[in-house]
Amino acid sequence: MSEPTVGDVADWWGTAVSRIAPNVIELRGRPVQDLIGSTSFAGVIWLMLRGDTPTPGQERLLEAALVSSVDHGPHAPSIAVARMAATCGVGLNNAVATGVNLLGDVHGGAGEQCVALLAEIADGAEPQEVVARWRARSKYLPGFGHRFHTVDPRRDPLLTLVDQAAADGVVDGSYLRAARAVEQLIAPVPINIDGCTAVVYGELGFPPPLARGLFVLSRSVGILAHAWEESGQGRRNKGPMPPTILPTQIGDA
């Protein structure tokens, strides 16, 4: 083995995402000064994750999907833990990180799994066969069904946007057709928000794990807004129940 060199260290940290040099910042090869003022935040999200820039039609779909999943209230564990963290004497960034940390396979992974499921159908597999195979693995079909909503208010606007984008040739519509085939097959279980955003991300060509990645960016907004609101309310060490419920009342598991 030859002696290690400083170049080995630099290679170890090599990246195609950005290049930083004195007075130079390039994101995916573009000088940052060319992006500021001309590119939207959503456009830069696309650029950073994929290396190119979206067309206006693609960007419109991405914005819509990012907007749709920012929040689902304090019943969502990611939101609740961020609010609790904000009362414990940590930084606002730590409160956000606490919430994001919970967007795991069960809480944040449904979109990722649903892109993978729809991809199988978009690639030519029979919906019935695909649904049967996924259901054999888990009773939860990712992207379908919801505890609260029989018709999720985000469903129609998102799917309509994809419909239009397919008509305009922005996307090819294969994920939308796949999702509708599944929805018909398992009626009356409806497509949910993870399913709708999976349609968008799949149509746009994002690989499944980035469906979770994009959900993280979107939900971070709600997590931050809730942590910020809570931090202004003066509570300390907020538990899941108000102090009026005595610990003695907690049942034995």
Q: Considering only residues 68-107, where is the footprint of a copy of itself by CB under 8 A?
A: 68, 70-78, 80-81, 84-85, 87-94, 96-98, 100-107
Residue 123 Cβ vs a copy of itself, minimum distance, rounded to whole Å: 21
* Sign of torsion over alpha carbons 160, 170, 66, 43: negative
Q: What part of residues 160-219 is at the interface with a copy of itself (CB under 8 A)? A: 160-161, 209-210, 212-213, 216-218
State both tokens at 187: 């009626």
Q: How far apart, in whole angstroms, are the C-alpha atoms of residue 29 and residue 23? A: 15
CB of 76 to a copy of itself, least distance (A): 7
Per-residue burial over 153-184, b if 16 or more Cβ lie within 10 Å, else e, is ebbeebbebbeebbeeebbebbbbbbbebbbe
Compute how many residues bind a copy of itself; rule: CB under 8 A.
128
Please, which residue, 129 or 209, has the CB nearer to a copy of itself? Answer: 209
Q: Cβ closer to a copy of itself: 68 or 174?
A: 68
Taking the complex as a whole, the smallest distance from the CB of residue 128 to a copy of itself amounts, in Å, to 26
Binding mask 28-67 for a copy of itself (x = CB under 8 A): ---xxx-xxx-xxxx-xx--xx----------x--xx-xx
238 and 100 in contact (C-beta within 8 Å)? no
**Helix 208-231 × helix 193-203 angle, to 10°:** 130
Cα–Cα distance measured from residue 247 to residue 233, given in angstroms and rounded to the nearest whole number: 23
d(C-alpha 203, C-alpha 60), whole Å: 13
Nearest to 58 by CA among 216, 179, 166: 166
Query: By CB under 8 A, is residue 124 in contact with a copy of itself?
Result: no
**Binders of a copy of itself in range 4-23 (CB under 8 A):** 4-23
> Which C-beta is closer to a copy of itself: that of 11 or that of 168?
11
Nearer to a copy of itself, 187 or 246 (CB): 246
Query: Given the complex with a copy of itself, which of 115 and 210 has the nearer CB atom?
Result: 210
